[in-house]
């Protein structure tokens, strides 16, 4: 009897520690990462949508990435603040739809930026024609449209899942598409949210680093170096924050019921969510031209004659414009 009592106390202590750990993660996400991320992404959008930056394709891609990351973070607020006991069928469908679609869009847009940078350092004379503002606009529209159409299956399959007792058990795939959503769709999501962007980003990073390291002219080109350094910082953040959860999903495609595994699952979810919150700080720390644009934005009320400085040249200008 005493041994059983000790086992019971140990289990109770574990559940208390589990609950405390989960609470800390949720509060870190809700009160730190999400607010800072939304504020940072809004600043990115404002700065890159200034008239001098709107004409550059890189600016358009980074702005779209900031919009997608903002949707991820706003969706996180909904998940933390909505009532888990009485969700409607519409809330269930839309929550899953925007959650999956925005995560996939952010990863694919980062892969587009990586592809543009590879062309900028390997064939700078072609980058402006290939990644023109018009072409990039249509590419972003295509990616968004493709993902939205591909994920219609979420709207058709996700619904409120009730236990036999009538208690809410979660928002899960149900009905005729249950097998497809449980066995096939997780691999589709894994491909677009992690695997395909991971391959493109890794390849691009290796090519960029090798090219810049062996090319003195590229090292001297401030625009190429500045944008590329910003991209590499975003790539590293993606690999360290998203890779762990992507690898975890290979072995555990559905949320675990075991408490120990759920601790790891919760931690990886928070780490993955951090990827949508870090871009502003990465741009600010790694991009001197972005810092200059940021400072200039907040000095807009100061007369230029008093500032004694010229307008900074934008980081987002495609490098081909300066390559003869």
Of residues 164 and 68, more confidence is placed in 68
Every domain of the chain and the residues it spans: 2-322
DSSP letters for 102-120 = HHHHHHHHHHHHHHHHHHH
CA 38 and chain centroid, separation: 12
Is pLDDT of 322 > 60? no
Residue 38, pLDDT score: 93
CB 109 within 8 A of CB 140: yes
Residue 221 pLDDT greater than 80, yes or no: no
138-187: pLDDT as tens digits: 999 999 999 999 999 999 998 887 665 555 556 788 888 888 988 899 88
pLDDT tens sequence across 264-315: 777 787 888 888 888 888 877 766 777 778 788 777 645 554 444 445 445 4
**Whole-prediction pTM:** 0.79
> How crowded is residue 94: how many other Cβ atoms within 10 Å of its Cβ?
16
pLDDT tens, residue by residue, 38-55: 999 999 998 888 888 888
Average pLDDT value over all residues in the chain: 77
Looking at residue 167, its pLDDT comes to 57
- Domain 2-322 maps to which CATH number in 1.20.1070.10, 3.30.470.10, 1.20.1440.120, 3.20.20.70? 1.20.1070.10
- The DSSP secondary structure of 43-55, one letter per residue, reads HHHHHHTSHHHHT
Q: What is the pLDDT of residues 120-132, one digit of tens each?
A: 888 888 888 999 9
The confidence score (pLDDT) of residue 321 equals 43
């Amino acid at each position: 009897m005493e041994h059983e009592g000790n086992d019971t106390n140990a289990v109770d202590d574990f559940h208390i520690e589990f609950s405390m750990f989960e609470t800390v993660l949720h509060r870190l996400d809700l009160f730190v990462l999400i607010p800072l991320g939304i504020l940072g992404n809004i600043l990115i959008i404002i700065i890159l949508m200034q008239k001098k930056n709107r004409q550059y394709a890189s600016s358009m891609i980074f702005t779209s990435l900031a919009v997608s990351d903002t949707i991820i973070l706003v969706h996180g607020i909904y998940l933390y603040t909505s009532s888990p006991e009485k969700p409607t069928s519409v809330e269930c469908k839309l929550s899953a739809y925007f959650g999956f679609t925005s995560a996939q869009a952010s990863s694919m847009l980062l892969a587009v930026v990586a592809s543009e940078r590879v062309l900028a350092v390997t064939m700078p004379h072609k980058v402006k024609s290939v990644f023109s503002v018009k072409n990039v606009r249509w590419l972003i529209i295509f990616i968004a449209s493709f993902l939205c159409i591909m994920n219609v299956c979420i709207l058709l399959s996700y619904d409120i899942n009730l236990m036999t007792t009538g208690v809410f058990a979660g928002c899960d795939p149900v009905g005729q598409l249950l097998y497809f959503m449980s066995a096939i769709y997780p691999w589709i999501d894994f491909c677009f949210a992690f695997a395909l962007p991971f391959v493109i980003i890794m390849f691009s990073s290796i090519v960029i680093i090798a090219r810049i390291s062996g090319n003195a002219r590229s090292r001297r080109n401030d625009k190429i170096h500045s944008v590329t350094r910003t991209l590499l910082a975003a790539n590293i953040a993606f690999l360290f924050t998203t890779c762990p959860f992507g690898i975890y999903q290979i072995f555990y495609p559905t949320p675990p019921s075991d408490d120990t595994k759920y601790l790891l699952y919760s931690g990886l979810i928070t780490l993955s969510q951090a990827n949508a919150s870090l871009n502003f700080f990465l741009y600010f720390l790694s991009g001197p031209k972005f810092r200059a644009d940021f400072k200039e934005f907040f000095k807009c009320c100061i007369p230029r004659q008093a500032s004694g400085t010229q307008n900074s040249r934008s980081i987002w200008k495609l490098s081909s414009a300066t390559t003869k």
